[in-house]
Amino acid sequence: MKILIQRTDEVKIVIGGKLHSCSGKGLLLFIGIRTGDSAEMIPYFIEKIINLRIFEDSAGKMNMSVKDIGGEIAAVSQFTLYADTSRGRRPGFSESAPPEMSEPLYNEFIVQLKKTGLKIAEGVFGAHMEISLINNGPATFILER
């Protein structure tokens, strides 16, 4: 599993020309699922994400987590995180889990993320989405296991 995290001030997820969900100050998660990933991995990522100290404290140091600031999280499935661009000009996606495997894992990730008590905005698995954000920093991090 690979998760790209962006620190944000605002996220809007639009599907079919209509606002589907949005979030305020917090995080945008792009969640990539690879063949071989399992639901047992999810608690590690959730704990890491909500406790990762990537927000500034009053001294300007990255000492606060999204949980500490009462932030919000937007989560979107992103199979292209496992794109292989090492050969040719067209990315290969052989490492990305097929939809029948990744969709249940993504859905379980969302279920467990909602148990944190933070406000969660979510995309729709497999949908074409227009995602707009105000990146705070910019600050972008990658979690992988």
Catalytic residues: 80
Q: Which amino acid is at 68?
A: D
What is the rounded (10 degree) CA torsion for 82, 20, 13, 119?
Answer: -90
The Cα 24–Cα 35 span in angstroms is 32
Q: Give Cα 136 distance to the centre of its chain.
A: 15
SS3 93: coil
Q: For the chain, give the longest Cα–Cα distance.
A: 48
